[in-house]
Chains A and B, each alone.
Chain A
């Protein structure tokens, strides 16, 4: 029954998307605006079918209806409720349902937000683009990746449950939905950008419409990435949080171009410049989310996190081709109308610093993309096998990251148009002092090496600069000094500084030792004592867990464990972490047959890891504050595309 219900919803959703997209395009091209309301109806239907499919699948999962293909893949009577819900996105087909649900959510939000603009061409085309994207996903779910396929239950069927890695930590319930909210959220600005290109209304109108949408998507993407890193740290047991794995890189790419866009868009709002560039960045961000999905789901690039490979990958490549060449074609077509008035007068101006920001983020995105796909290029070129991993990305990211921190210190205090030496000196002095003090502190606490110490210094510099802006804003406007885009942005900057400083410390001063311990034996690593007290074990229908008891520094006992998931026959290590303000002690063990056997204990000591999570949290909070309406600007200093009063508008 659930199979039929689910498939029915998928087919109705597909039909509504096709009718809405094709019909809407036809209505708009032929200028029958009075018919535009039909597009809205089709769009509402796709929202409804998205919700319906999710509800049906969740219901099928909760009653364990194994005649539904997807439930047969990931369902099990032993899975606890939380992970049974999370099973919805634990495998390829189900994750598409989540994608559709989120896309429907954004479509619905657009319909509500722009309900007064039902006859507007720009909004009409944006809706058509949203529905076009939804055609693709509904087609996948109704066709090649149908999770609702009715299957017979084999006589010897034993339920397997979701991937063990996706059922042993509560973060699994939050990381993927948050990441999807970010990924899918970028469809909205893309839809408006495309609509602007199609309608030729290329000024700042579409920008103003989508400003908050972009910030929201960006906030979720940031949160999703940081939660993913945290999950990886707490669950995967390899002692790190970021491995420059292709799938991780895939999530970072749209984040990088999104960051570039959020900055350069201010130049366009304020000065009406960089129109082509901003459109290109919005389109690139969306294209990169599709590329990321392709990488995650095709298995084309070897990755620890990749979903099982299947024929779906090729579909995403097709979508990537369509959206990429579609946007390039549109930009080329409208290119001449996009030339914008104005000029950047001085390298010591806010505008110029945003350009520098874009250069750095663009370069970083290029490095990440190149490093990710280069093994494929090399294999095509001369058949050679090449692995490109952390050492490469680290050595590329280091200089770029330091430059970004420097820019983060200087840019927020630069005025528009042109700064004088006096202004620069006055505004930058105290942040610079904070930077010097940070370096001194780093040295006092034992930090060595030019790059890391410089990282602390520039972190302090950037943090001081952002803090200065926040202090000035709150002094002037009270609590409103925390909200609005500019002020929220500074909070995001403070979060970035925490995260960056944490990364510098955790990467540069990592200590990683593996020791073999008999019961009662103590290992001493970096001034900490690790005593192996023995072990224990427990089991239930789902899993067998064996842990080692390790006393750290004669105080608390930690229990790194290995867990055998019976249904999948997979052994998963579960690390135990002693987090701390200044350092994390991370313990993980190999599987031992019986509690009390000698144990091989891997000890990873990383300073300031908690700063990374705190920084990520602060960044998310900052984006929320940025969305909150801030202080109204004085009339006359509003962002506008008609910034030059004396120039007669043409066109």
Chain B
């Protein structure tokens, strides 16, 4: 096992056919790594251009929202609202931004209701009782529905998020973070 005696080499040929292969391999590896550095460099240079929160829904048909109102029990179906502007708001009572924006939405409702603008809040990750209690305490009489898959269909990533649906059923605006009455009114006629 410890035998260290080698047989003598046949030739001692320093300029054999293998000469230069290390160089070729090194150059090949270098080229690949240069590509890597280039990619990483481009990534550093372009980083932060796209934060990935832009909704792919803009200009698309609104996904389905259907369910019973958690307060009144009345059925709601977004397909029955064609011809009206609809504000779709995603919220949860655990979400601080939602608590901040709620008075704004209540105030907006005063303005919107006489103008025939429909509003619906979709509850995310909250039991219905808690959502109902919240609306009883904090005000707001618009539709509140529970629908697990709605937030998936809308691609809601970070609450609160709000979408505006035009009378022909197209998603025309999208906000992330707490919304204000002014934000909404700026997008609506009259």
Contacts and interface: CB of A to CB of B under 8 A. Distances in A.
Touch test A–B (CB under 8 Å): yes
Interface of A: 276, 280, 294, 298-301, 309, 313-314, 317, 320-321, 324-325, 328-329, 331-332, 335-336, 338-339, 341-342, 373, 376-377, 379-380, 385, 415-417, 634, 636-637, 643-648, 650
Given A636-B4, A644-B6, A335 B22 contact: yes
A313 B6 contact: no
Q: How large is the interface on B (under 10, 10 to 19, 20 to 34, 35 or more residues)?
A: 20 to 34
B182 interface: no
A373 B35 CA distance: 12
Nearest to B35: A377
B43 interface: yes
A487 to B, nearest CB: 16
Nearest to A324: B33
B22 A647 contact: no
Contact of B9 (A328, A637, A644): A644
Given A336-B20, A415-B1, A376 B40 contact: yes
Contacts of A309: 47
Mostly helix, strand, loop or mixed at chain B's interface?
Answer: helix
B27 interface: yes
B138 interface: no
A339 B18 contact: yes
B64 interface: no
Contacts of B12: 647-648, 650
Contact of A321 (B5, B19, B22, B37): B37
A332 B23 contact: yes
A409 to B, nearest CB: 18
Interface string B2-42: 11111011001010001111110111011001101101111
Contacts of B25: 276
27 contacts: A276-B22, A298-B44, A309-B47, A314-B41, A314-B44, A317-B44, A320-B40, A321-B37, A324-B30, A328-B33, A331-B26, A335-B23, A335-B26, A336-B23, A339-B22, A341-B9, A373-B36, A380-B43, A417-B3, A634-B2, A637-B4, A643-B4, A645-B6, A646-B8, A647-B12, A650-B12, A650-B14
Contacts of B21: 335
A335 B20 contact: yes
A325 B30 contact: yes
Interface of B: 1-6, 8-9, 12, 14, 18-23, 25-27, 29-30, 33-34, 36-37, 39-44, 47, 52
A313 B47 CA distance: 11
B31 to A, nearest CB: 10
A336 B22 contact: yes
A634 B1 CA distance: 13
Contact of B41 (A317, A328, A647): A317
A389 B68 CA distance: 38
Contact of A332 (B6, B27, B37): B27
A385 B52 contact: yes
Contacts of B22: 276, 331-332, 335-336, 338-339
A416 B6 CA distance: 12
Nearest to A275: B22
